Structure 1
Amino acid sequence: MNWLNNITWRNRYTRLTQWEYWPIFTFYGPLFFYYIFLAIRARHPFFMTATNPGIFTGGTGMESKYETIMMLPEALRPKTVLAEVGEDFDQIRNKMDAEGLTYPVIAKPDIGYRGLLVKKIKNDTDLKAYLEQFPLDFLIQEYIALSREAGVHFHRFPGQEKGKITSVTLKKYLSVTGDGSSTVMELVKNSDRALLQIDRLKASYGTLLETVPGLGEAVPLGTIGNHSKGTTFINGNDMIDEEMEVTYTKIVDQLNGIHFCRFDLKCEAFEDLKTGHGIKVIEINGIGAEPTHIYDPKHISFLGAISTIGRHWTIIWKLASINHRHGVPYFGIAKMIKTLLEHRRYIKNINRINDLLTQEGTT
């Protein structure tokens, strides 16, 4: 058998030859010595924790997504409740009813990691079963039916009237396009990006995969804008202008202690990103947020991606240094090490569960 016809080997080949799928250390390993340089200049190994005093550890990924999203006014965020570990399902439903949450909803870990374990839930039975699988706190969030999803990376130095946008990512959900004769499954097998999702697609779409879409007919295979779900990230930096920066400055004006963040949001049209008209922010990420336009497979090189991350680290260092001079403390070394070790165990657990569910085809 030609190895390129074997799904396992094809997926391995895709992950090896397309750098957007490379392991995280391949991006951050080359920047290790630059991080050490910045830490020496700041005279503290965890200088970055002073960047956003309004978020736990500045937003390194160990913060509660519930606490950050609830900083926004109601008009800008989805209806959201926190389902805590061990909480009775009836209590969770009472919270949902009080908030006005109806199905479908999005369930995701309160302390998240690259979109893992994020799932669209359609009813009580599925939600209860999903929550019972994990010893984790979960956000139950209103499903926002707006058709476009994006990420906007913003920072503002203390004392500045207007902030700056350094990254705009336009997200294209996973889909295949019919040729008039192939089944959806055959189209999936002809798409490197879709083939990486084949186990999940088999579990989620069932008989749809055996249908034959018409010539040019687009078949959506996802509505969650995470790279791990097959979403394509597109560089939208050409949209950045003063109007857009004023829009997000006004949003950040309402957030206490946030200077550097990425807004993950939904809108009806990408042009709405400039004015903020009708947008819904589904997540706020702090210093751990990547400028995700770097994962555009057509317009950004691997070295260009590393360079962009380095420039963002420089901004983090500058912000942290300014804040520290104005009295914002760095996170204690011993406390940070303990927190990092706990987070490492947490992430290993999430990866273990995700791998198990992927094998079962239920994520």
Structure 2
Amino acid sequence: MWVYCIYHSSKKSHSFLSKTLLFVFISLFLGTFVSEDLTCITGGILAEKGQVNLLLVISACTIGIFISDLWLFIMGKFFLDLSKNWKRYGRILNSNLVLKIKNQVESNFGKLVLLSRFTPGTRLPVYFLSGTLGASFARFSLFSFIACTIWTPVLVVLSYFYGKAILQMFEDPYSYTALALTAVSFFIIFSLISKLSQHQTRSELWITIQKIPKLEFWPIWIFYIPIIPYIALLMLRYNGFLTITCSNPGIETGGMAGESKSKILTQLPREWIARFILIEPGSKISEEAILQDGFQFPLILKPDVGERGAFVQKVHNYQELTSILVNVKVPTILQEFHPGPFEIGIFYYRYPSRDKGKIFSITNKIFPELICDGKSTIEELIYQHPRYRFQANAFIQNNLYQLNEIPPAGEIRKIGILGNHIQGCLFKDGSDLITRELEERIDEISKHFTGFNFGRYDLRYTNEDELKLGTNFQIIELNGAMSESTNLYDPDFTIIQAYSYLFAQWKHLFQIGYENRKLGAIPITYMELYQTLEKHFQYREELLKKSE
């Protein structure tokens, strides 16, 4: 497009561009260093208009693209020479893995260079890597030139005929607006076709399409659109949105954002919570101090202010713990690990005017695991799984060091330990677990926390019968106003069932907050809410960076 701009401005100045072929050649040549595809497309359309010679465009673009390819290769060679003086990188370049890659590249060098020219996104890494691995400059030059002499004329000629067809649709076929729109539209279409030519892109698109009817995978902003008008009505009925910050007077902002997990847990009976130690950033804790308190590895390390499972880790020994804490800049909780194997979320509410609270819902958390076939890698099994492929990015991130492993046939491999949907955990409705005994136990525990009326307990247990009797479980954490009744993400739920829980949850939230306001609870101001959210979002960004 910038070639067109040079031409257009030059034409106004005594038609300098049309008379100076050398200037046109240099402009196209240099344009390929900015954007190869866009320069070829613009040149082809200019040629169709008769402003430049088609052969000149092909020649200038081919030479420019070829020279830029050689430059990438030379940069790789330069890096290779430079790295020879660095012992650390020298050892890497001479490692068995790099030597194996080098042999593979050399045996398929011609195909690799040619295919990368026609595969978007691969040219830079392949050409630079070729130089870094010490490939022959002559061989690279030969295959690169062949690829350029095929690729460039095809793209320029396609642009030539595309521009001719499109410009006929405009009343003024020589309109510069038409020219610009034609170049841009072809570039967009060409880019889309190039991306769709890649298997990975097509696979990701197909997975995205398959997610559409699955409510549990909807983006949160889409999922909540239907409830926005209802929330607006609740705001009018119960004195504004900030009423919900009074739902839990004993929790900062009611539990909307930024609440401390440790402060909440200390308000609950000690015999029902998983014990923990709060570690401030920069402080040191000895292994003896941990063991003296009765803790045993493995333990769970997580931020005191959480964000959807970010930075939650299972640490297996003291050395691993200290290596992690060195880079931690936020308060963290070191919590004993309950082996489970079961974990649930119990959503509880109690109106201030009533003596007894109720269990609103229970969510069964089913942790992801693979049944290995003895042939496929962990990564392949993830993409082959009918459900896990929808959250493949999360599973790959959480299992980076075992993706290429091929476990024995029949082995069951766990690929997730966090009871978080965004981390791949399956949520199922657990209404069958609700009993009078369990509800009374949760109500008893909740009443111990003055100022708590609405939220979700996450707890682990070993035996279902004991759970139903309200015994032998441990509370991992408690969330306030912004917690969800996560059973609504059950894939077996209809959309009506899911939204019936969501609408009812918000109604209880506003009504409880309204009752607390009448009893004297004071909601925060909008300025305080803004400052809280701003601080939380900054914290969240920092936390997510640390967890990557």
Q: TM-score, normalised by structure 2?
A: 0.59
What residue identity is the alignment partner of 1:305? A
1:123 maps onto 2:317 in alignment: yes
What residue identity is the alignment partner of 1:63? E
What is the aligned partner in structure 1 of residue 22 from structure 2?
Answer: none
How many residues matched? 349
1:305 maps onto 2:522 in alignment: no
The counterpart of 2:524, out of the listed 319, 331, 339, is 331
Q: The residue matched to 1:280 in structure 2 has which SS?
A: strand
Contact 1:71/1:255 (8 A) holds in 2: yes
Identify if the C-alpha distance between structure 1 residues 254 and 210 changes in structure 2 by more than 3 Å, giving closer, same or farther: same
What is the aligned partner in structure 2 of residue 82 from structure 1?
Answer: 278
- Cα deviation, 1:267-320, whole Å, max 9, x if unaligned, reads 0023333222110000111111100101111x2134532332121110011111
What is the aligned partner in structure 2 of residue 211 from structure 1?
Answer: 407
What is the aligned partner in structure 2 of residue 222 from structure 1?
Answer: 416
1:130 Cα deviation from its structure 2 partner: 2.4
1:79 Cα deviation from its structure 2 partner: 1.7
Structure 2 counterparts to residues 167-182 of structure 1, below 5 A: 167-179=361-373, 182=376
- CA distance in 2 between counterparts of 1:152 and 1:280 reads 12
| Identical columns (%) | 28
What is the aligned partner in structure 2 of residue 38 from structure 1?
Answer: 234
1:200 maps onto 2:397 in alignment: yes
Structure 2 counterparts to residues 11-90 of structure 1, below 5 A: 12-13=208-209, 15-16=211-212, 18-85=214-281, 87-88=282-283, 90=284
Stretch of structure 1 that moved more, 117-126 or 6-15: 6-15
Contact 1:61/1:285 (8 A) holds in 2: no
- CA distance in 1 between counterparts of 2:479 and 2:267 reads 12
1:165 maps onto 2:359 in alignment: yes
1:19 Cα deviation from its structure 2 partner: 2.7
Contact 1:188/1:194 (8 A) holds in 2: yes
What residue identity is the alignment partner of 2:236? I
1:259 maps onto 2:456 in alignment: no
What is the aligned partner in structure 1 of residue 20 from structure 2?
Answer: none
Higher relative contact order (CA 8 A, sep 6+): 1
Identify if the C-alpha distance between structure 1 residues 132 and 315 changes in structure 2 by more than 3 Å, giving closer, same or farther: same
Whose strand fraction is larger, Structure 1's or Structure 2's?
1
- CA distance in 2 between counterparts of 1:264 and 1:38 reads 28
- Cα deviation, 1:161-211, whole Å, max 9, x if unaligned, reads 32111111111111012456555444323114434144235424467x311
Contact 1:149/1:264 (8 A) holds in 2: yes
Whose helix fraction is larger, Structure 1's or Structure 2's?
2
- CA distance in 1 between counterparts of 2:218 and 2:429 reads 19
What residue identity is the alignment partner of 1:294? L
What is the aligned partner in structure 2 of residue 106 from structure 1?
Answer: 300
Structure 2 counterparts to residues 250-289 of structure 1, below 5 A: 250-289=444-483
- CA distance in 2 between counterparts of 1:162 and 1:276 reads 16
What residue identity is the alignment partner of 1:211? P
The counterpart of 1:314, out of the listed 492, 496, 507, is 507
Stretch of structure 1 that moved more, 343-352 or 273-282: 343-352
The counterpart of 2:539, out of the listed 338, 346, 363, is 346
- CA distance in 2 between counterparts of 1:291 and 1:164 reads 13
Identify if the C-alpha distance between structure 1 residues 202 and 286 changes in structure 2 by more than 3 Å, giving closer, same or farther: closer
| Unaligned residue ranges in structure 2 (runs of 5+) | 1-196
What residue identity is the alignment partner of 2:384? N
Q: The residue matched to 1:224 in structure 2 has which SS?
A: coil
1:339 Cα deviation from its structure 2 partner: 1.1
Contact 1:166/1:237 (8 A) holds in 2: no
- Cα deviation, 1:141-180, whole Å, max 9, x if unaligned, reads 1111121100111111124232111111111111012456
Stretch of structure 1 that moved more, 149-158 or 73-82: 73-82
1:140 Cα deviation from its structure 2 partner: 1.1
Q: The residue matched to 1:39 in structure 2 has which SS?
A: helix
- Cα deviation, 1:91-110, whole Å, max 9, x if unaligned, reads 47576345332321111111
What residue identity is the alignment partner of 2:352? P
The counterpart of 1:295, out of the listed 480, 489, 506, is 489
What residue identity is the alignment partner of 1:153? F
1:349 Cα deviation from its structure 2 partner: 2.8
- Cα deviation, 1:188-236, whole Å, max 9, x if unaligned, reads 23114434144235424467x311222xx53322232222321111111
1:237 maps onto 2:431 in alignment: yes
What residue identity is the alignment partner of 2:254? G
- CA distance in 1 between counterparts of 2:263 and 2:288 reads 20
What is the aligned partner in structure 1 of residue 385 from structure 2?
Answer: 191
Contact 2:365/2:425 (8 A) holds in 1: yes
What residue identity is the alignment partner of 1:116? A
Identify if the C-alpha distance between structure 1 residues 109 and 92 changes in structure 2 by more than 3 Å, giving closer, same or farther: farther
- CA distance in 2 between counterparts of 1:111 and 1:203 reads 26
